[in-house]
Structure 1
Amino acid sequence: MHTIEKERGSVYCGAAIWDRLIEILEEKKFSKIVILVDENTKKHCLPLLKKNHLSKFTFKTICIPAGEAHKTIATCTKVWQQLSDLGADRNSLLINLGGGVVTDLGGFVASTFKRGIEFINIPTSLLAMVDASVGGKNGVDLGHLKNQIGVIKNPLAVFVFIEFLKTLPKSERRSGYAEMLKHGLIASEEYWESLKDFDTTNTETTEAFIWESIKIKNEVVTKDPTEKGLRKTLNYGHTLGHAIESYFLENPEKATLLHGEAIAVGMVLANYISAEKEGFPQQKLLATTTTFLSIYNRVAFNQTDVEEIIKLLKFDKKNTNGNINFVLLEDFGKYVIDKVVDNTVIHQAFAFYKNFKI
């Protein structure tokens, strides 16, 4: 079992984690245990958890619709009401069993219900395992704008069980892979290179790769828990990536992009801007772009799309005093933060992405 022990937010990964979960539940003697799932994890993940690991405990279940479109205050209101109807009190526990939507929203619900109840995250998607599992960010979207409402509070603990990945379609695994590639860009060229061998059908190596990403993110958030500097690097590619994701989410003429699909585009754009503004090596720009475009289908953008995406940048949470702040790279693991980028360079980045030949 892999372990990161903390006062709050300890992370456990591996087949032996369930004994630790049972220890916590027996030790805390919660008045009520409620499991939050979505339609997919209720069907594919909850039976495994119930049968093998929670059979000795009594618990209730709350189910929300699956998908980013339901990561809203309206969904929170329904969950708060159901918690109240179930008689949940301040000594209750909410277990969030799901991907990033469930863990983000569930953490926010728990942090605000009765001014805060305990919660445990059990991420079931690759994206949630390597991203939402560490750092304590909880929240929801505001309309189509990503993660505008939320709090930072670590769960009581996080349990990462690789077997849940078998319940995911390939597209969802590929989405989470983007965040792992981001960890390589911001922290370790060696890790980036090793990720080219990432294969989720190999449970042992998959666990090792996921644990490396968890360690990278944990090191960052431990040094900068409130995002004053270093933690902003975890948003690499997300300034434009989130704007792209939001634009495709709100536009009925566009097919919705998964988070990782949008962030992959955002990282290609960020790498180009980094090369222009901070000297990110040209050879590495070409190599990383080739990698991204070999994994993720190229997304089509017309001029109007780009203009509308740029307009959405003003809602990015890293902005200060009206400035749109980017995280950029001088090289793998060498970052600069709070860099203002003019629209001309952003347009050039989209043109580079559109015209790049593999």
Structure 2
Amino acid sequence: MQAVQAKDYQVVFGNSGYNTLNNILKEKKHSILFILVDSNTHEYCLSHFLQNLETDQTIEIIEIDPGEEYKNLETCTGVWNVLSELNADRKSLLINLGGGVVTDLGGFVACCFKRGIDFINIPTTLLAMVDASVGGKTGVDLGSLKNQIGVISNPDLVLVDPHFLGTLPMEELRSGYAEMLKHGLIHSQSYWDAVKDADFSKFEDLGELIRQSVEIKNEVVLKDPYEKDLRKSLNYGHTLGHAIESLFMEDSSKNRLLHGEAIAVGMILANYLSREITDFDNTLCDEVSKAILDFYQPVSFTEQDIEDIIKLLKYDKKNSHGTVYFVLLSKIGSPVLNQKVSNELIFNAFDYYKNLSKK
């Protein structure tokens, strides 16, 4: 597959991507190669990756615990300490082999260690391939609040290898699929039509859809790298979705929601809000929402849950001067930025989601 050219680096794919990676390692001659993994990617992904790596340089493996709950400064401190103990210097390279937690956290670790060392991302989950692979966002959570601490800094390379999709349970594929659905909604009817009918049993077919998803996000980021305007469109469904994810993360009585599962709910809520505020077609709103819901288990919300979710909205990164701003749609492929939404409409959106889930 053809590489996608981001601002200062490439997103490369499959076997040819390993050739690009190995050429970079030869050219740069890093002092030590560090590979950051979690326990899952250590077990299921590292061997395949090392088999495709061509280098005589020293390789050190650093393992962290898996899961969003470990995407925090405490984990960063642990990695920084290990880097220091293993004599990492400013010519070292950190290769982040994992999902969005590993690539986000690993990128942040690299940006801060000795004021910045090179890093390369090898996303192993569908979510990381189509979302974390582009845009240079690195960082960690602050308690249950998503991505509150971080910087924008680009890697030297991103390598997307669809082989790793075979290591994932279906719920992880669903989590990444939500971001691909989002790209369809904000980009074009044609990509929405293609991705909503994707066959997850055929990874070779999924590879091209992944590349298109990366291209869509890259187009947006190139035009607006620091999220001043157009890049906000990538947050469609995320304003409420992130708040839902945070609520389910901090409430031990609730079953944990993966990122994409929460964003799927957030997109259905955003569809309803778009219908009410930006004239998104009523029939299309129902069609799109049902297509999303068909792929995800319905989630139940109490009135107290909704009130708590609304309170969490104040932490959304798109907010300005105390006002919560939403990304909505006027039609598929036409996002509308900086929309204000009343609490009453948010409650109505949850009613819409609840009623849709019963059909």
Range of TM-score over shorter length:
over 0.9
Q: Secondary structure at the match of 2:120?
A: strand
Distance 1:305 1:87 in 2: 48
- Residue 58 of structure 1: how far off its partner (Å): 2.5
Q: Which residue of 2 is the match for residue 4 of structure 1?
A: 4
Once the two structures are superposed, the pairs formed by residues 133-172 of structure 1 within 5 Å of their partners are 133-172=133-172
Distance 2:326 2:52 in 1: 45
Q: Secondary structure at the match of 1:295?
A: coil
Distance 2:291 2:261 in 1: 13
Q: Which residue of 2 is the match for residue 89 of structure 1?
A: 89
Q: Which residue of 2 is the match for residue 45 of structure 1?
A: 45
Once the two structures are superposed, the pairs formed by residues 70-89 of structure 1 within 5 Å of their partners are 70-89=70-89
Distance 2:144 2:98 in 1: 21
Q: Which residue of 1 is the match for residue 287 of structure 2?
A: 287
Distance 1:201 1:352 in 2: 32
**Conserved in 2, the CA contact under 8 Å of 1:9 and 1:136?**
no
Distance 1:54 1:61 in 2: 16
Deviations 1:152-187 (A, max 9, x none): 001011000000000000100010000000000000
Distance 1:200 1:156 in 2: 30
Q: Secondary structure at the match of 1:34?
A: strand
- Residue 292 of structure 1: how far off its partner (Å): 1.3
Identity percentage over the alignment? 57
Q: Which residue of 2 is the match for residue 28 of structure 1?
A: 28
What letter matches 2:129 in structure 1? M
2:339 pairs with 1:339? yes
Distance 1:55 1:114 in 2: 24
What letter matches 1:219 in structure 2? E
**Conserved in 1, the CA contact under 8 Å of 2:165 and 2:203?**
no
**Conserved in 2, the CA contact under 8 Å of 1:9 and 1:134?**
no
- Residues 249, 212 of structure 1: CA spacing in aligned structure 2 closer, same or farther, 3 A cutoff? same
**Conserved in 2, the CA contact under 8 Å of 1:14 and 1:207?**
no
Q: Which residue of 1 is the match for residue 195 of structure 2?
A: 195
- Residue 51 of structure 1: how far off its partner (Å): 2.3
- Residue 55 of structure 1: how far off its partner (Å): 6.1
Distance 2:286 2:233 in 1: 21
Q: Which residue of 2 is the match for residue 252 of structure 1?
A: 252
Distance 1:282 1:197 in 2: 22
Unaligned runs of 5+ in 2: none
- Residue 6 of structure 1: how far off its partner (Å): 4.5
Q: Secondary structure at the match of 1:2?
A: coil
Distance 1:12 1:51 in 2: 18
- Residue 247 of structure 1: how far off its partner (Å): 0.2
TM-score (norm 2): 0.98
- Residues 182, 325 of structure 1: CA spacing in aligned structure 2 closer, same or farther, 3 A cutoff? same
What letter matches 1:24 in structure 2? I
- Residue 17 of structure 1: how far off its partner (Å): 1.2
Aligned length: 358
Q: Which residue of 2 is the match for residue 110 of structure 1?
A: 110
**Conserved in 1, the CA contact under 8 Å of 2:6 and 2:222?**
no
What letter matches 1:91 in structure 2? K
Q: Which residue of 2 is the match for residue 67 of structure 1?
A: 67
What letter matches 2:217 in structure 1? K
What letter matches 2:334 in structure 1? K
What letter matches 1:242 in structure 2? H
Distance 1:320 1:201 in 2: 43
Q: Which residue of 1 is the match for residue 330 of structure 2?
A: 330
**Conserved in 1, the CA contact under 8 Å of 2:26 and 2:55?**
no
Distance 1:342 1:196 in 2: 30
2:170 pairs with 1:178? no
- Residue 10 of structure 1: how far off its partner (Å): 1.1
Deviations 1:126-156 (A, max 9, x none): 0000000000000000000000000000101
- Residues 311, 6 of structure 1: CA spacing in aligned structure 2 closer, same or farther, 3 A cutoff? closer
Deviations 1:182-231 (A, max 9, x none): 00000011111111331232132111100010000000000000001100
- Residue 53 of structure 1: how far off its partner (Å): 2.2
